[in-house]
Amino acid sequence: MTYNRNVDILNLLILPGVLAGLLTYLTVPFAIKVAHKYDLIDDPARHIHPKVIHTYPIPRGGGLAIWIGLATTAAIFLPPDKHLWGILLGGTLLIIMGLLDDKYDLNPYSRLIVQFLVASIPIFAGIGIAFLSNPFGGTIDLSHPQFVFNLMGEHTVWILSDLFALFWIVTLMNFLNMGASGLDGQITGTAGIAALVIGLLSLRLVGDSTQVPVVILAGATAGAFFGFLPWHIYPQKIMPSFGGATLAGFMLGILSILSTTKVGTLMVILAIPLIDTGYTIVRRIAAGKMPLWGDRGHLHHRLLDSGFSKKQVAFFYWGTTALLGILALNLNTPSKLYTIIGVAVFVGGLLLLLMYRKK
């Protein structure tokens, strides 16, 4: 079978992206009505918390619109196999939990339990990581040990592979929610750019038929988040909230697994929010605080406190994500490790500088 790159980009990446973007954009007014009807409103006068930085009531529940656009597009363009059903079921449960959190402000540890359940669904459907590239040479085999059981058919469990995939997806859900969803447009643009990079990466391998669905799913994911962006960019009209932010981590985690297990590539693309959240968790634990309870110590908070505007902070995250995405497309495995170390030093130094200037 021969492939035409321009046709592939149009049919596999752009068309699903445009449809998902339009569906999401047009569905947002419905999500806003739902938010008002069920009082899914983030009112800073009622929701007093150090991490809250908006000054007027904003509807929550934007993840619902993103998911409608994304899921509908995926169902149209992709074959109804067990992988798709696993993704659709997991994403739907995640959005339901997000809406419940918008209403009741669920306990973070209750949400974490549900996240593990959600992440296990696509893994049970067969999405997993068999091998990881070793930055020091060779590969890391996660395909053994295995065991087989029968439940509505025969299933093989790759213990190390499935555990790694489970914790990878849950980690992304939480780290993106904590480190990239603090202000207008931040998570929406960041997730859209990351998904687009994964789509372009998989497009290079489109001669492998297994990568065709990945390109389509990446295009739909990017389009859905970009379609939400006009409503979310400063001044935001609706928030993606917990459901939308964790959906970003859920989909990007799955895409990184499906795109020939490009876990390292996604770590480079999202290095800024991932490393910032890692530092934040260490800081909270060192201070004797619970790691999942929010505060005003993330990089985006520090940038705001130093005088950056919300738009400027969002542009910083979009720009660094795009730059690291371009780099990730052209790096080998050892170079990815060195890049992540370099970003870690940069983020750590920037946090220290901003803390010093604040004092």
Q: Where are the domains of the chain?
A: 5-142+157-263
Does residue 247 surpass a pLDDT of 60? yes
**pLDDT value of residue 355:** 83
Question: d(Cα 51, Cα 330) in Å, to the nearest integer?
Answer: 36
Q: Are 256 and 325 in contact (CB under 8 A)?
A: no
Q: What average pLDDT score do residues 200-216 get?
A: 84
Q: Are 175 and 274 in contact (CB under 8 A)?
A: yes
pLDDT tens for 115-134 read: 999 999 999 998 988 888 88
**From 11-20, 30-39, 229-238, 291-300, the region with the lowest mean pLDDT:** 291-300
Q: Are 158 and 143 in contact (CB under 8 A)?
A: yes
Q: Which residues, in sequence order, are bridge partners of residue 148?
A: 156
Does residue 251 surpass a pLDDT of 80? yes
Angle at 120 between CA 119 and CA 123, to 5 degrees: 100
Does residue 8 surpass a pLDDT of 80? no
pLDDT tens for 105-120 read: 999 999 999 999 999 9
Does residue 339 surpass a pLDDT of 60? yes
**pLDDT value of residue 2:** 41
**pLDDT value of residue 1:** 34
Question: d(Cα 187, Cα 244) in Å, to the nearest integer?
Answer: 9
**pLDDT value of residue 358:** 64
Question: d(Cα 167, Cα 36) in Å, to the nearest integer?
Answer: 35
Neighbour-count burial for 239-277, b at 16+ CB within 10 Å, e otherwise = bbbbbbbbbbbbbbbbbbbbbbbbbbbbbbbbbbbbbbb
Q: And the tokens for 331?
A: 């790096």
**pLDDT value of residue 246:** 97
Question: d(Cα 62, Cα 200) in Å, to the nearest integer?
Answer: 26
pLDDT tens for 274-289 read: 999 999 999 999 988 8
Q: And the tokens for 174?
A: 């939480």
Q: What average pLDDT score do residues 35-61 get?
A: 83
**From 17-26, 265-274, 293-302, the region with the lowest mean pLDDT:** 293-302
**pLDDT value of residue 153:** 64
Q: What Rg do the C-alpha atoms of the chain give, in angstroms?
A: 20
Angle at 254 between CA 251 and CA 260, to 5 degrees: 135
**From 29-33, 41-45, 246-250, the region with the lowest mean pLDDT:** 41-45
Q: What average pLDDT score do residues 100-108 get?
A: 93
Alpha helices in 205-332 (DSSP H): 212-232, 241-258, 263-269, 271-286, 299-305, 310-328
pTM of the predicted model, to two decimals? 0.94
Question: d(Cα 333, Cα 129) in Å, to the nearest integer?
Answer: 16
* Whole-Å CA distances, 356 to 211, 282, 351: 47, 19, 9
Q: Which residues, in sequence order, are bridge partners of residue 131?
A: 141
Q: Which residues, in sequence order, are bridge partners of residue 146?
A: 158
Share of the chain above pLDDT 70, in %: 93
- Polymer length of the chain: 359
Does residue 144 surpass a pLDDT of 90? no
